[in-house]
Amino acid sequence: SQQGEEDPQALSIQEGENATMNCSYKTSINNLQWYRQNSGRGLVHLILIRSNEREKHSGRLRVTLDTSKKSSSLLITASRAADTASYFCATDYFFGTGTRLTVIP
Amino acid sequence: GAVVSQHPSWVICKSGTSVKIECRSLDFQATTMFWYRQFPKQSLMLMATSNEGSKATYEQGVEKDKFLINHASLTLSTLTVTSAHPEDSSFYICSASRQGVVAFFGQGTRLTVV
């Protein structure tokens, strides 16, 4: 997308390992959101981080935001097989193409 | 799984009238609800975050008096577009969150102001 991108496109890890996904964007933002989509299901909103925040935690999720670099990362710690899904970042103007995470039991 | 119901799914109204959109969480208590707007060929734009029993937090650039949000109960939030104009025509989507961060989306409301 011309408005931003996510990487990696696909990630495969063993259960218990941590997974990190990155998102970069090109315009100024008010907030950035991360979503999860399980196969054949709708989007699930995971976490929202505002432009004046640098880090946010929720359970096993940790999101960072660097507005100077126009980038964000989503860290899932102690991954589980149930975390297998596609993860998307989104801003007002950009919805990423997603990272496909596979957690191997 | 949890279901969020949004009503109506589409509505056509005359310019100058007000339109109310409902967002209901059907089988869980939603402590937080989000309202989004989607412009053609663009991403979801977060309009406001509402917590049950308190005033909504509006995103920058969203007119509070134009888009009235009420979250009177743990299962219902409403968005009222007041004095609607053609430029308010859009796709409005809500999502409802349990305690914690996971949220589920409604099916959206297509508003057309003529």
Model pLDDT for residues B11-38, shown as the tens digit of each residue: 999 999 999 999 998 877 888 888 988 8
SS3 B108: coil
User: What does the block give as tokens for B73?
Assistant: 């109960």
Residue B1 is predicted with a pLDDT of: 47
Higher-scoring residue by pLDDT: B66, B104? B66
Residue A65 is predicted with a pLDDT of: 97
Residue A105: asked if its preceding bond is cis (omega within 30°), the reply is no
Model pLDDT for residues A61-75, shown as the tens digit of each residue: 999 999 999 999 999
For residue B102, pLDDT beyond 60: no
Residues from chain A that touch B100, judged by Cβ atoms under 8 A, are 58-59
- Minimal-distance CA residue of chain B relative to A94: B43
Of B88, B101, B105, B97, nearest in space to B11 by CA:
B88
Residue B93 CB-density burial (10 A; 0-12 exposed, 13-18 middle, 19+ buried): buried
User: What pairs with residue A58 in β-bridges?
Assistant: A61
> What backbone torsions phi and psi does residue B64 show, to the nearest 5 degrees?
-65, -40
Of A12, A61, A55, nearest in space to A36 by CA:
A61
Which of A27, A33, A45 is the mutation pick for testing B, counting most B CBs within 10 A? A45
Of A40, A35, A17, A26, nearest in space to A104 by CA:
A17
- In order along its 105 residues, chain A shows pLDDT tens digits of 456 788 898 999 999 999 999 999 888 888 888 988 876 566 778 888 989 999 999 899 999 999 999 999 999 999 999 999 989 898 866 777 789 999 999
Q: How far apart are alpha carbons A44 and B95 in whole angstroms? A: 9
Q: How far apart are alpha carbons B26 and B105 in whole angstroms? A: 12
Residue B30 is predicted with a pLDDT of: 84
User: What does the block give as tokens for A84?
Assistant: 């297998």
Considering only the beta carbons, identify the residue of B46, B102, B104 that sits closest to A31: B46
For residue B95, pLDDT beyond 70: yes
Among residues of chain B, what percentage have pLDDT more than 90? 46
Residues from chain A that touch B105, judged by Cβ atoms under 8 A, are 42-45
Q: How many Cβ pairs closer than 8 A exist between chain A and B?
A: 46
Residues from chain A that touch B104, judged by Cβ atoms under 8 A, are 42, 44-45
SS3 B86: helix
Of A100, A8, A2, nearest in space to B41 by CA:
A2
Residues from chain A that touch B41, judged by Cβ atoms under 8 A, are none
Residue A30 is predicted with a pLDDT of: 82
Q: Give the gap in angstroms from C-alpha A66 to the nearest C-alpha of chain B.
A: 19
Residue B42 is predicted with a pLDDT of: 66
* Whole-number Cα distances in Å, A84 to A10, A103, B78: 11, 5, 33
SS3 A41: coil
